Structures are given as C-alpha cells and as structure tokens.
Structure 1
C-alpha cells in the first residue's frame, strides 16, 4: 500500500527546488576542480566498473559523487510525483511528471557531455536544463496554493515577460562566456573558440538590460499600487541581480577564482527561481 504523501506536497516541492539548485552547484564544482572527466565514460565510471574502484583519484571521486546525487534527485522526484498523484489534481500531476522526467533527461545529457569530452555547447545545454527545472519547481510551488489562477494582462505584465526573457538571455550568454574561457572541466576539454573578451562585454550588456527592465518593473508596480507580494518579489530579484553583478565584475578582474565562480553559479540558480516567481506574482495577482 502506497503511504499518503499528499500532505507533504509542499515540503517535497521545496525539496525539488533545493535539490536541483544544489545540483547546479555540485556540477559547477566538478567543472571548477577539473574533474569533468574523472569518470571518463558513461554510464560506467570506467570501462570495467560503475564506480571509481580500482582507478581511484580525487577527480574521479568528485565526478562520481556528482553522479550519485542523481539518485537523491530521483528519490525526491518519485516522492513528489506520488504526492501530486494522490492530490487528484491534474495540473500538479502534469508538472510533477515533467519534473520527474527532467532527472533522467539530465542524466542522459550529462552522459553525452562526458562522451563528447565536455563539448562546451552540450555543457551549456546541460546547465540551462537545470535552470528550466528550477523555474518549473517554482511554478509547481505556486500551483499548490493557487490551482486556478486568473491571469492578468496589460503593459506591466508585458514588462514582466520582457524581464523574464532578458533573464534567460543573460543565463544563455553566460554559458557561452563560460564555454570560451578557462575552467573547462578538464585540461584537454575543447573550448568553443569564441573571443572571451567580446563575449564578456556582450554578457555585461545584456545584464544591464536585465537590471534596467527589473528597475522599470519595480517602478511600474509602485506606480500602479500593485500587490505588495509582487513588489517584494521584484525587490528580491533586484537584490540578487546586484549581488550577481558584483560577483561577476570581481571574478572577471581577479582572473576567475573558482570560489567566486562557484558563487556565481549559485546566483544563476537563484536568478532562475526568483525571475520565475516575479513573473508568476505579476501575471497572477492574488
């Protein structure tokens, strides 16, 4: 008999969001420590074993540890799916299925990443998929308490959509910048061949666009006396953007120390989550 988990759907939704954000950070640790090919094949770690046993090294341990996190994500995804199913709500069931399917999809993409010797374009796609799962997790959290929202419309909602789109442009260009610079995940991993200096300037330009749209959205909400929750959400997003920008500038002028790059990746996960929350709050006022 399957235990009743529907009462735990809120905590499980938070666990889904947090665990996928942790995956972004641990995946960054794999790349930043040069451990991307610590397990040089997939799905095995080595040709003769699924584990690093017999060919142990620090890099293989780091990469294998990141792979093992997948089982934690699977457990959370299954519990979340069972919980959503027991609620009887079709909207939660659909989103839980998508969240669950995202885990094996990410594992396969990760395997392709290893089999292509950390091709930077596939690494980029791997990270963006995690960002999408994080955004969907935020929407899932919202739907638990707001099953049938009445979407708003108008110029402020349009500005929120523009802010959301610019956030994803920032995230994408950021992955391309990463693919052109150091910290490839392995000393022999290929780079995308683009100019890091020009891409960094492009990244800074789209960040300024993102920040400008966020500030504009904040003033628009204040001018229209919008719900306090939406205004607070935009304020939180703006604070995250400022922190991310500060980390980005410092890491650029200090030759990309791995600690700062790691915090920058965590910030990217927070951007994905917070900009999704802003869009939902503005588009679906209480």
Structure 2
C-alpha cells in the first residue's frame, strides 16, 4: 500500500488506511440515510408495499406490476438500502480487523462460511414444514456473527474499541433486517416499528463513535472537563433518551401508521405530543447550560456543545412546526432524521469528555 493511500496515525497504534476512513464515513452516512428511507416507507403508506419478507411477494424478490405501484418500489428501495448498509458495515469490519492483527480476517471469514452453511441447513430443515425458513436462515447467520465477534475480540491484540464498534454495527444491521421482516409479518405493529427506528438511531450513534475513536490514541484516558460538567452531560443524555422515547411513542400513535388500512389505537397521540415536548424543553435547557458553561470555561468540548445545541434547536423548531401544520409527512421525516443526528452529536460530545493520557504521564 502506497504512502498516498494511507493516513498513518502513530498515536492510534494502527495504520488507518484511506479506504477505511472513507468507508467508515460512508457507513455513518448510510445509517442516517436508511432512517430517511425507512421514514419514507412509513410516511407514504408503503409499509406493506412488499407483502412478504425477505421476498417482496411469495414468488418474487422484487415488486411486480400487479402490486401497489410506487409503494412496492419505495418499500423495496428501503430493503435495497439495507443491503448497502450491510456491505459497508462488512467492509469496515474486515479493514479494521486487517489493521488490528494478523489472522483476524481469516478467522472472521471462516465463521462467515460456517454461518452460511448453518443457515442453509436451517432453511432446508424448516422449509418443508411451512416454517419461516428465511427467518431461520437469518437467525443462523446472526448467531454466527455473534460467535465470531466474541472469538475475534478475545484475539484482538489492541484497539478492542475499534473492533467492538465495527462488530456491533455489522451484527446490528443483520438484526435490523430481521426486525424489519417481523414488522412486515406483524402488519406494522407499532412497537416493532418503533423498536426498528430506535435501533437504527443507535447504529447511527455507534458509527459516529467509530469515527471518533478511529483517530483517538489507544491506552488510558483522563477527563478533560470538571466532574460536575461530565455529570451534567450524562444527565443531558438521559433527557435526550427520554425525549426520543416519547417521540417514538407519539409517532407510533399518530396518523402515519405505514399503511392506509392500518389505524393505530391505544395511546392518545395528542396527549403524547405534549408529554413528548416536556423532556424536549428540559433537554434544550440542559444543552444550553452545557454550551454556556463550556465556552465560559473554554473547555475542549465547547465546539461540540454548539453543534449539539444547534441540532436540538432546529429539532425543536421542526417539532413545533409539524405539530402546528398537522404532521405533514415531509416534516415528520425531517424530524426523524434530525433526531438521529442529534443523538450522534451527543455521542461525539460524550466521547470528547475524556482524552488520552500523554505518553510521558503514563
């Protein structure tokens, strides 16, 4: 590999190749984009555009002309995006393992081969009994990934953080594909769909964490902010999580069920919209306090407090706007994507609360 294709960062303990950097960023962007495409599926009523999983129809992988036109295309497009996200996650993992130690890639590929063989066997055994054979196949692959992850992390000589983050993304994408299938098979159960979105948001945070740790030094780290600031930052994270949780419940109880024939019942969306706003305003106050404090004390994280404050401010503005306009689909979709970007910005902020201990001090 030539010097021009490698950005060597001695402080990280590994040589970070340019392809890995590019793919890591693409993986992050893809995780954000798939939230947008998933939102489009739901907000256009295309949730059942493909009636089966993982096939689109019982006899076809792709939508057929007799289906609901654009709905099948939108739903299948989101499924295709899942494949893109998965391939990027796999590429990041393999390049990470290659950078971290000899033999790790070979063992991972052996586990992959074993998982495929196990999946084929599971499919062959369950298909004759009209059981969800593709589900068993996917479950076998996911099990192989989890076992491979455990084996790999035990053998990784350094930078367990990078290896763990890369493995979690791949396993998460595979699990998400299964959850998406369950959402279709349960006819868009609100709780399954809500979990599907929340898991996607968490994967955005994990890929963001990888980008941060990719350029960080290995070894012990020390806090670079006052203890009270770190505590306040973690309390802010709790407020963010609660806000997102009630946002998911509110959307799940609202008019955008994902299919025109599915009417949500249960929670009162109007009441939940107000409840959702309470932790949102608390979150805004906490973020404002963090930003003012960080800039007053000239803390190293002050730039990221502004990024988080801007994301939350725009998010609140869009939230108020969509509520007053009767939840138009475009604004709801923007609100969903902005929530993931806010969570990603918070993830970076928290990881920046500590920095590596200088070599001379170790």
- The TM-score, its normalising length taken from structure 2, stands at 0.74
Q: Report how far residue 55 of structure 1 moved.
A: 3.0
Q: Which residue of 1 aligns with 2:200?
A: 130
**Root mean square deviation, CA, Å:** 1.8
1:34 aligns with 2:107: no
Native 8 Å contact 1:27 1:66 kept in 2: yes
Runs of 4+ in 1 over 3 A off after TM superposition: 283-286
Residue deviations 1:1-40 (CA, integer Å, cap 9, x gap): xxx9950222221111100000000000001100000001
Q: Which of 73, 79, 89 is the equivalent residue of 1:67?
A: 79
SS in 2 for 1:20: helix
Q: Which of 333, 338, 343 is the equivalent residue of 1:272?
A: 343
Q: Which residue of 2 aligns with 1:143?
A: 213
Q: Report how far residue 262 of structure 1 moved.
A: 1.5
**Which sits farther off after the overlay, 269-278 or 183-192?**
183-192
Native 8 Å contact 2:216 2:356 kept in 1: no
Q: Which residue of 2 aligns with 1:84?
A: 96
Q: Which residue of 2 aligns with 1:58?
A: 70
1:97 and 1:6 mapped to 2: Cα distance? 17
Native 8 Å contact 1:118 1:185 kept in 2: yes
Q: Which residue of 1 aligns with 2:136?
A: none
Native 8 Å contact 1:39 1:52 kept in 2: yes
Select the structure of larger CA radius of gyration: 2
Q: Which residue of 2 aligns with 1:176?
A: 249
1:221 aligns with 2:294: yes
1:43 and 1:20 mapped to 2: Cα distance? 20
Native 8 Å contact 2:255 2:263 kept in 1: no
2:310 and 2:272 mapped to 1: Cα distance? 24
1:1-286 mapped onto 2 (5 Å cutoff): 6-7=16-17, 8-56=19-67, 57-88=69-100, 89-148=159-218, 150-152=221-223, 154-227=227-300, 230-284=301-355
Native 8 Å contact 1:95 1:140 kept in 2: yes
Native 8 Å contact 1:99 1:136 kept in 2: yes
SS in 1 for 2:255: coil
Residue deviations 1:171-207 (CA, integer Å, cap 9, x gap): 1110000011111100222425111111111111010
Residue deviations 1:46-93 (CA, integer Å, cap 9, x gap): 112221125342111110111011111121111101110111143212
- The answer for unaligned runs of 5 or more in structure 2 is 1-5, 7-14, 101-158, 358-362
Q: 1:260 to 1:132 in 2, by over 3 A?
A: same
- The answer for unaligned runs of 5 or more in structure 1 is none
Native 8 Å contact 1:215 1:238 kept in 2: yes
